[in-house]
């Protein structure tokens, strides 16, 4: 458990970094802080002293304690090279190493440093990462949003970057509440092409496994529905299995129930991504469902998983390294004062045929 003075420090830092307390603004008095946190005056003074030492506060004798922006100049003077912060949901698996490699290669060309953080798609961890970037004083930022299809309580931190004129761009998704440049796969088109491929192979009973707390999942569902509509096929709610970050650990068990319930109807599945596609393959093997003879599967993202699995997954491309390079290039050019930079970039997916889709005969 944190000592009480540290709780005061963390809260005041959050208020300053999120813009709740503005530079030059007077913070609550020692007496008010004592009552708010139920602590001694000594504890409050210890917290204020540490925040003052870090450049977040300054005290004026007989007047009170004020917010200082000194912390920015302290961190900003740390090095001649500029530093770009990168926040992704994950770092070490799936498509993220490739994206980060693309960012790093472009930053290296102009001698920019990289400061990396991940959120595990958790909003509280995103808050910590944003506070770290603001405290450090990064010159620019590349972010993959956390749970981008639900309201995000960290919006104030992004507005703080805007107020400080720190350029930032988003990758893979974006927060619809913010006007922010982004670099994304055309997720509607990706799922649309996947569904259309299955329809072209004669499938009419097609299901989807969808992750619904991320914008990618929302758009991939949209592409699925669009392709069904064009083919005059009925959208059937019972053919949808949705999950989110908090229920992802239950996906295998839920897939078992879903596949058993729909075994006599479904002939094909569009999967949220390759990771989910290969989980479906695993569960099908346990249930004795033959792929692709009984069930055709398409993943999305052409990830490391798809390339190295013991079955060649039919999937769709994702720009990965190119997306990382382009986002880093955008931030660098913005810092160099370039004008008329793109506000959004969509990459078009291409179908990659594998071993998990089979045509069925139309009776």
Indicate the range of 19-33, 126-140, 239-253 predicted with least confidence. 19-33
**Run of H or E including 41:** helix 41-53
Token reading at 85: 């912060």
Closest by alpha carbon to 252, among 285, 224, 228?
285
**Run of H or E including 11:** helix 4-17
Token reading at 63: 């007047």
**Pairing state of beta strands 296-298 and 140-143?**
unpaired
Beta bridge partners of 352: 315
Q: What pLDDT score was predicted for residue 297?
A: 98
Sign of the torsion formed by the C-alpha atoms of 181, 182, 187 and 193 = positive
User: In Å, what is the CA distance from 12 to each residue of 20, 28, 353?
Assistant: 9, 10, 54
Closest by alpha carbon to 313, among 322, 328, 324, 302?
302
Token reading at 50: 């540490």
3-state SS assignment for residue 143:
strand
d(CA 209, CA 207): 7
Going by pLDDT thresholds of 50, 70 and 90, the confidence category of residue 329 is very high
Q: List pLDDT tens digits, range 68-112.
A: 878 776 544 444 679 999 999 998 888 999 999 999 999 999 999
Q: What pLDDT score was predicted for residue 80?
A: 62
**Run of H or E including 319:** none
3-state SS assignment for residue 209:
strand
**Stretch 242-260: mean pLDDT:** 96
Q: List pLDDT tens digits, range 281-306.
A: 999 999 999 999 999 999 999 998 88
Pair 172, 211: CB distance under 8 Å: no
Supply φ then ψ for residue 355, to 5 degrees. Answer: -110, 10
**Run of H or E including 194:** helix 187-200
Burial 214-237 (b: 16+ CB within 10 A, else e): bbbbbbbbebbbbbbeeeeeeeee
Q: How many CB atoms lie within 10 A of CB 116?
A: 15
């Amino acid at each position: 458990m944190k000592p009480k003075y540290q709780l005061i420090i963390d809260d005041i830092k959050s208020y300053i970094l999120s813009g709740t307390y503005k530079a030059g603004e007077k913070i609550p008095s020692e007496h008010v802080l004592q009552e708010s946190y139920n602590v001694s005056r000594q504890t409050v003074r210890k917290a204020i002293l540490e925040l003052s030492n870090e450049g977040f506060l300054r005290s004026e004798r007989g007047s009170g304690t004020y917010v200082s922006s000194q912390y920015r100049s302290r961190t900003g003077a740390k090095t001649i090279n500029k530093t770009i912060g990168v926040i992704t949901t994950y770092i070490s698996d799936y498509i993220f190493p490739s994206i980060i490699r693309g960012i790093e290669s472009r930053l290296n060309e102009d001698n920019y440093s990289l400061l990396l953080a991940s959120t595990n798609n958790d909003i509280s961890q995103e808050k910590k990462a944003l506070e770290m970037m603001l405290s450090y004083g990064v010159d620019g930022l590349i972010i993959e949003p956390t749970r981008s299809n639900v309201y995000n309580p960290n919006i104030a931190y992004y507005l703080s970057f805007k107020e400080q004129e720190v350029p930032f761009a988003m990758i893979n998704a974006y927060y619809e509440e913010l006007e922010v440049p982004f670099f994304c796969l055309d997720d509607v088109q990706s799922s649309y092409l996947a569904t259309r491929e299955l329809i072209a192979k004669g499938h009419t009973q097609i299901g989807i496994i969808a992750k619904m707390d991320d914008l990618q999942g929302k758009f991939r569902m949209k592409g699925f529905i669009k392709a069904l509509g064009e083919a005059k096929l009925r959208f059937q709610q019972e053919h949808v299995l949705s999950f989110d970050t908090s229920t992802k650990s239950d996906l295998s068990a839920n897939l078992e129930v879903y596949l058993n319930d729909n075994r006599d109807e479904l002939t094909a599945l569009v999967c949220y991504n390759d990771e989910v596609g290969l989980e479906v393959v695993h569960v099908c093997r346990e249930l004795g469902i033959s792929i692709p003879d009984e069930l055709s599967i398409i993943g999305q993202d052409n990830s490391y998983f798809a390339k190295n699995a013991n079955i060649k997954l039919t999937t769709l491309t994702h720009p990965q390294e190119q997306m990382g390079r382009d986002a880093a290039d955008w931030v660098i050019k913005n810092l160099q004062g370039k004008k008329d930079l793109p506000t959004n970039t969509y990459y078009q997916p291409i179908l990659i045929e594998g071993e998990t889709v089979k045509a069925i005969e139309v009776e």
